[in-house]
Amino acid sequence: MSSESLRIVWIYPDLLSTYGDRGNALILARRARQRGMPVEVLEVRSDERLPATADIYLVGGGEDGPQALGAQRLLADGGLHRAVAQGSVVFGVCAGYQLLGTSFFAKGVQCRGLELLDLRSDRGESRAVGELAGEIDPRLGLPPLTGFENHGGRTHLGPEVSPLARVTAGVGNDGATEGAWRGKLLGTYSHGPALARNPALADLLLRWATGAHQLPPLDDTWSDRLRNERRSAVAAARA
Amino acid sequence: MPLRAKVASSVSRTAAALSRAAGRGDGSVIGGWIGLKIDPDLLAHLSAGRAIALVSGTNGKTTTTRLTSAAVGVLGRVATNSFGANMPSGHTSALAKAGSTPYAVLEVDEHYLAQVLEATEPHVVALLNLSRDQLDRAKEVAMMAQLWRAALVRHTDVRVVANADDPLVVWAATPPGDPARGINPPHVTWFSAGQRWHDDSWVCPECGSTIQRSGEQWWCTGCPLRRPEPHWVVEDEGVLDPTGAWHKVSLQLPGKVNLGNAATALAVAAEFGVRPVDAVSRLGIVTSVAGRYAQVDKDGRNIRLLLAKNPASWLEAFDMADEAPTLLSINARDPDGLDTSWLYDVDFAPLRGRQVLITGDRAYDLAVRLDVNDVPFQHVRTFDDALRSVPPGRLEVIANYTAFQDIRAELDRVI
């Protein structure tokens, strides 16, 4: 960690918070505090400078216009690139995932991304809306991914990133893989929010940020019930 | 009315009656749907000769439509779609059922506003608000504002009554005119009803710059878009009209949001020539609206039903609810929207200190949310379990759309 407390930056909630993205910040902060870590959550709006010294950066989902604007402002600001160079953790969801790549489409126009992840996104023939599930890259040691996706993009991964998961339900990147990660950068199409549906993913980000190999377990009764219930719903829809 | 329209209108009424008799629904959609199959222009034919107001927006349109009908009722009979059937089939059915009336007040689903403007040629259109609502099937919020704006460009003769507190509505209500072609921008009367929910309007729809807020004022930092001076304003327990006269409003509906809806109703009625002093007492006759705000006594409990279907309306529901045991019920069926992520757009902290029960198809999503929000709760399987779990007295029930209908069914479809 960079200082006394774990610093979480929620990037541009004024632009990129279309669907419950605040939840990811709330859950990360709570799970850190429950382990006794002091936490500071900074909401940085798009007319403010991005601090380059935080531990975890969250980029949420957004509509086309705000997504393009958010990418432009992040490129102009440069703070996120400096933070990544210093080893900070970045977690992007949906539009926030796409804009970490080299390019994406918004309002029919190809837009330049932040080039932090080796991937590019274009438009699919149909919108991907519904439950999303997958088996996560075994190297990350996490239980299956569950979430809700709602996007028109298709994402193509380059050789420098690994897929986050192999899709078992839904579309994700392209119907076969979902999300991507490299080093301490990770992106996904999962809403839910993603960290509410996947507390183990939240803990992975906390471990990356703190360097801890293990974190004390928490009471995840309700998350477990939610995950089981969603898994049954996906199975029932398939039957 | 042309013969085809007469036949269609009559068949439409018959189908609605059959639907009600068969217990299949309240008949507010099916009749109109069949009528429109016979005569696609039926809605236009049924609208002809009536002075019509349309009411649209994400939240409050059913209640505002009911209040507006009561206010316009000062002048004569009013046709209205009072069961919230707010698409063209519902409008057709409502007008056919009402027969000939001088006035109509129609609630319009925000996606259908352009189409219904075209068909009904209204005298007034009221634009309440735009916020996120079921994004997995609804249009994105900014796109909806764009559609409204484009529709109003084609109907610059309609009088607009719009919410000065919502930047997206203000932008939608003020398309530029085209003086070269003799097109003037629409005439707008602004009301201020307050807006608790700001998270869909931080970015200017005109230029993409940041929108700043201070108190009730808001302005774009990059272009001239800013809050217009409202003509109708909620003040204390009443409404200030454009002449500066204050009218006490005594509603049977709870919450500040309904005072705002009352102000909107008075402003719309005024466009028909209704004086607020004549209309204001009529607003107090509205008790519940399609089950919303209804109170039912059962097993010693006084149950009150509040519908909250998106983040903005949850904030309003917490404001209306008493400090009493509260049952929250969440579903995620098609009409609700399939994604429950929005639960994190709502701060449930106002419920701390109340006994909170949760139920519904997606109770576990709500459980995780409340846990993170430090709101203690108890999960119950059924509505009867909930009733047994609370002491005699008031039980507030806050539910989203289909969860609300489920509970309403348990209470014999209370209206």
Question: Could you tell me if residue B393 is left (phi over 0), alpha (psi between -120 and 50 degrees) or otherwise beta?
Answer: left
- Which chain B residue is nearest to residue A33, measuring alpha carbons? B372
Q: How far is B311 from chain A (nearest CA, A)?
A: 10
Per DSSP, the residues of A71-96 read: HHHHHHH-HHHHHHHTT-EEEEETHH
Is the same domain home to B220 and B328? no
Task: List the single best residue of A63, A69, A229 to mutate versus B (max B Cβ within 10 A).
Answer: A63
Same domain, B53 and B156: yes
Total domains in the fold of chain B = 2
- Only one residue has tokens 């199409």, namely A189
Task: Kindly state whether residues B270 and B326 are assigned to the same domain.
Answer: no
d(CA A62, CA A84): 22
Number of Cα atoms under 13 Å in the Cβ half of residue B367:
20
**CB-based contact B53:B105 (threshold 8 Å):** yes
Confidence category of residue A144, pLDDT binned at 50, 70, 90: very high
| Percent of all residues in chain A with a pLDDT value above 70, rounded to a whole number | 99
- The pLDDT value recorded for residue A54 is 97
Euclidean distance between CA atoms B397 and A192, whole angstroms: 24
Phi first, then psi: what are they for B264, rounded to 5°? -65, -45
Q: Does B158 reside within a domain?
A: yes
Partners of B191 in the β-ladder: B163, B232
Percentage of chain A exceeding pLDDT 90: 89
Residue among B105, B64, B58 at smallest CA distance from B81? B105
Specify whether B253 is located in the same domain as B347. no
| Residue pair A117/A106 in contact by the 8 Å Cβ criterion | no
- Best mutation target among A12, A15, A19, A229 (most B Cβ atoms within 10 Å) is A19
Q: Which of A27, A222, A225, A229 is the best substitution to test chain B (most B C-beta atoms within 10 A)?
A: A222
Using the beta-carbon criterion (under 8 Å), do A19 and B140 form an inter-chain contact?
no
A146: contact with B, CB 8 A cutoff: no
What is the interface size between A and B, counted as CB pairs within 8 Å? 90
Nearest CB neighbour to A19, from listed B341, B368, B369: B341
Angle of helix B256-271 relative to helix B311-320, nearest 10 degrees, comes to: 110
In a domain, B415, yes or no: no
Residues of A with a catalytic annotation lie at 94, 191
Is B237 found in the same domain as B208?
yes
Using a CB-CB cut-off of 8 Å, the residues of chain A touching B203 are 14-15, 46, 65-66, 69
pLDDT, tens digit (0-9, with 9 covering 90-100), for A178-194: 999 999 999 999 999 99
For A27, which of B132, B143, B372 is closest by C-beta distance? B372
In the numeric block, which tokens belong to residue A145? 């991914």
Measured between CB atoms, which of A22, A129, A150 is closest to B344?
A: A22
CB contact under 8 A, B203 and A66: yes
User: Is A223 in the B-facing interface, judged by CB distances under 8 Å?
Assistant: yes
Of B224, B248, B283, the last residue of a domain is B283
- Residue B48 contacts A where some CB pair is shorter than 8 Å: no
pLDDT score for B21: 47
A14 contacts in B (CB within 8 Å)? 202-203, 210
* Per-residue CA distances from A114 to A103, A118, A150, A157 (Å): 8, 10, 22, 15
- The answer, for A191 touching chain B at a CB cutoff of 8 Å, is yes
Same domain, B278 and B302: no
Contact yes or no for B210 and A46 at CB 8 A: yes
Residue B215 lies in a domain: yes
Contact assignment for A129 to B136 by CB distance below 8 Å: yes
Return the CATH number at B32: 3.40.1190.10
Core vs surface per residue B291-303: b (16+ CB within 10 A) or e: bbbbebeeeebeb
Residue B290 covered by a domain: no
Residue B288 domain-assigned?
no
Question: Phi/psi at B351 (nearest 5 deg)?
Answer: -85, -10
Q: What is the pLDDT of residue B22?
A: 47
DSSP state of B226: B
Distance from CA of B312 to the nearest CA of A (A): 13
Taking CA–CA distances from B131, the nearest residue in chain A reads A18
The gap between the terminal CA atoms of chain A, to the nearest Å, is 46
Distance CA B356, CA B67 (A): 31
Whether B234 and B382 map to the same domain: the answer is no
Residue B68 lies in a domain: yes
For helices B61-72 and B276-283, give the axis angle rounded to 10 degrees.
Answer: 120
Q: Does A160 touch chain B if contact means CB atoms closer than 8 Å? A: no
* Residues in B touching A189 (Cβ below 8 Å): none
For residues A159 and A140, give the distance between their C-alpha atoms in angstroms, rounded to a whole number. 18
Residue B350 inside a domain? The answer is yes
Cis upstream peptide for A13 (omega within 30°): no
Say whether pLDDT at A70 is over 50.
yes
B345–A22 C-beta distance less than 8 A:
yes
| Contact residues on chain A for B341, CB-CB shorter than 8 A | 19-21, 23, 148, 191-193
Q: Are residues B271 and B304 in the same domain?
A: no
Rounded-to-integer distance, Cα A70 and Cα A93, Å: 13
With respect to residue B322, please indicate whether it lies within any of the assigned structural domains. yes
- Where are the alpha helices (H) located in B136-294, listed in sequence order? 141-153, 167-173, 256-271, 276-283
Query: What ipTM is given for this predicted complex?
Result: 0.96
From B142, B154, B148, select the one nearest B126 (Cα to Cα).
Answer: B148
- Do B44 and B137 lie in one domain? The reply is yes
**Per-residue confidence (pLDDT) for residue B16, from 0 to 100:** 59
Q: pLDDT tens across A33-53, in order?
A: 999 999 999 999 998 999 999
Instruction: List, by residue number, the catalytic residues of B.
Output: 339
CA distance B140 to chain A (A): 7
Fold annotation for A6-238: Rossmann fold (3.40.50)
CA-closest candidate to residue A185, choices A113, A234, A105, A104? A113
pLDDT of residue B245: 96
Three-state secondary structure call for residue B267:
helix
Chain A residues with CB inside 8 Å of B371's CB? 222
Residue B228 CA to residue B219 CA, distance in Å, equals: 10
A192 at interface of B, judged by CB pairs closer than 8 A = yes
Q: What is the pTM of this model?
A: 0.83
Map out the domains of chain A as residue ranges: 6-238
Of B227, B261, B283, at which residue does a domain stop?
A: B283
Q: Is B134 exposed, middle or buried (0-12, 13-18, 19+ CB in 10 A)?
A: buried
> With 90 as the cut, is the pLDDT of residue A218 above it?
yes
pLDDT at B370: 98
Q: Does A60 touch chain B (CB under 8 A)?
A: no
B349 and chain A in contact, CB less than 8 A: no
CA atoms of B89 and B97, how far apart (whole Å): 12
In order along its 415 residues, chain B shows pLDDT tens digits of: 666 666 666 666 665 555 554 444 555 666 666 667 667 788 999 999 999 999 999 888 999 999 999 999 999 999 999 777 889 989 999 999 999 999 999 999 999 999 999 999 999 999 999 987 765 555 578 889 999 999 998 888 899 999 999 999 999 999 987 777 777 788 999 999 877 777 777 888 888 888 899 989 999 999 999 999 999 999 999 999 999 999 999 998 888 889 999 999 999 999 999 999 999 999 999 988 878 888 899 999 999 999 888 888 898 899 889 999 999 999 999 888 899 999 999 999 999 999 999 999 999 999 999 999 999 999 999 999 999 999 999 999 999 999 999 998 888 766 6
Task: Point out the domain boundary residue: B283, B307, B338.
Answer: B283
Tracing tokens 């696609």 back to the chain, one arrives at B40
Burial B226-257 (b: 16+ CB within 10 A, else e): bbbebbbbbeeebbbbeeeeebebebebbbeb
Which residues of B fall in the annotated binding site for Zn(2+)? Answer: 204, 207, 220, 223
- Residue B66 sits at the vertex; the CA angle it makes with B64 and B70, to the nearest 5 degrees, is 110
User: Are B232 and B88 in the same domain?
Assistant: yes
User: What is the torsion angle, in degrees rounded to the nearest 10, for the CA atoms of residue B87, residue B288, residue B148 and residue B106?
Assistant: 50
Domain that holds residue B350: 295-410
Give the residue-averaged pLDDT of A72-81.
96
Interface of B with A in 181-210 (CB under 8 A): 199, 202-203, 208, 210
The pLDDT assigned to B104 comes to 97
**Same domain, yes or no: B264 and B127:** yes
B1 touches B49 (CB < 8 A): no
Q: Residue A167, class by beta-carbon neighbours within 10 Å (0-12 exposed, 13-18 middle, 19+ buried)?
A: buried
List CB contacts (< 8 A) between A17 and chain B: 199, 345
Residues B272 and B356 in one domain: no
